[in-house]
Structure 1
Amino acid sequence: MDLDFLKMHDAHIPQERLRLAIEENRILIIEENEMIGWLRFSFFWESIPFVDMLFILEPFRGKQYGTDVMHFFEREMFVQGFKELMLSTSSEEYSQHLYLQLGFKTVGGFFPINEPYEIMMVKNLIGKVEKR
C-alpha cells in the first residue's frame, strides 16, 4: 500500500494513525491498474464498524466505484458478524445522497467547531446486505 499516496490525499488524520490503520487492515484500496480511491474505517464504541472516509479520486467519480466498495465492505462486515454500520458525512457533501440510496438512515448529527453540520448515519445489515 502506498503510504505516501494516502498521506497526500488523506490529510484528515495524523500520519501515525494512518500508518496504524494500514497495519490493522482498516483501509480498503480501490484499484484497477491504478489507484482509484479508498475506504478507511474504525470502530464506534469499539464494536460497530464506522466508515471514517470513502474517497474516490475525481476522474473516477460517478462510475459506481463508491457503491461497489460500500457493498463489498457491508458484506465483509456482515460475514464477520457485525449487524450494523455507521458513518458520518458533512451536510455539504454529495455523498450523503449515496449513503441514503445504499439504505443508511440519518440518526442525528452535530456541529464540529468551525465546520458545517455533520450527519450521523447507520445501516442495519441484517437482511439488507447485497448478495453480489
Structure 2
Amino acid sequence: MKIELATEQDYQYIVERDRHIPESLVRTKIREKEIFIIKDSEKEIGWMRYGYFWDNIPFMNMIWIDEEYRGRGIGKEMVLYWEEIMRERGFELIMTSTQSNEEAQHFYRKIGYRDAGCLLLETQPLEVILTKNL
C-alpha cells in the first residue's frame, strides 16, 4: 500500500466517489495538495481530503476506502499519515467530524480524537465535531 498526493490522473477515480463537493473543487483540492490517494499495486483504493477550519486548523473533510479494502486498517494508516504531515508542518491541533448516526465516530475516538461540540442542521443528523492534539 502506498499513500501519496493525488494528481490529475486520480481525478476521475475521486469524482466518481466523492459526492460531497462539486467536481470543479476536486481539481482545486488536487492543485492545493489537499487530497491524498491510497494505492495498492498502483491501483487506487481510497483517498482522503482535507481543508482548514477557520483557515488555520487542519480539518479532515472526507476519507474513503473502497468497500473491498475496508476493515484492514487502511483508514487508520491514512489518518495517522496525515496527522504526521500536519505535525511536521507545525500544527498542534487537527479536526474532523462525522454524523452521529455513522460508525466513524467510534473509529476517531479509538485513535485519540475527542468530542469538541456538534452542529445541528435542519435536514441532517447531528454532526459531531472531533479534535486531536498533536
TM-score > 0.5, shorter chain as reference: yes
8 Å CA contact 2:35–2:50 kept in 1: the answer is yes
How far is the alpha carbon of 1:113 from its aligned partner? Answer: 3.1
> Are 1:115 and 2:118 counterparts?
no
Equivalent position of 1:10 in the other structure: 18
How far is the alpha carbon of 1:111 from its aligned partner? Answer: 1.6
CA distance in 1, matches of 2:121, 2:30: 26
8 Å CA contact 2:58–2:94 kept in 1: the answer is yes
Q: Which aligned segments of 4 or more residues in structure 1 are displaced greater than 6 angstroms?
A: none
Equivalent position of 1:83 in the other structure: 92
Please give the root-mean-square deviation of Cα atoms over the aligned residues, in Å.
0.9
8 Å CA contact 2:37–2:44 kept in 1: the answer is yes
> Are 1:66 and 2:72 counterparts?
no
**Identical-pair percentage:** 36
TM-score for the superposition, normalised by structure 2: 0.90
How far is the alpha carbon of 1:4 from its aligned partner? Answer: 1.4
Equivalent position of 1:102 in the other structure: 111
8 Å CA contact 2:50–2:59 kept in 1: the answer is yes
Aligned length: 125
CA distance in 2, matches of 1:117, 1:62: 25
> Are 1:29 and 2:32 counterparts?
no
Structure 1 counterpart SS, 2:129: strand
How far is the alpha carbon of 1:112 from its aligned partner? Answer: 2.3
CA distance in 1, matches of 2:57, 2:26: 19
Residue 133 of structure 2 aligns with an amino acid whose one-letter code is: N
Task: Structure 1 unaligned segments of length 5 or more: list them.
Answer: 126-132
Task: Structure 2 unaligned segments of length 5 or more: list them.
Answer: 1-8
More moved, 51-60 vs 105-114 = 105-114
1:41-52 alignment runs, 5 A limit: 41-52=50-61
CA distance in 2, matches of 1:41, 1:87: 9
CA distance in 1, matches of 2:81, 2:15: 24
CA distance in 2, matches of 1:88, 1:73: 15
CA distance in 2, matches of 1:112, 1:8: 26
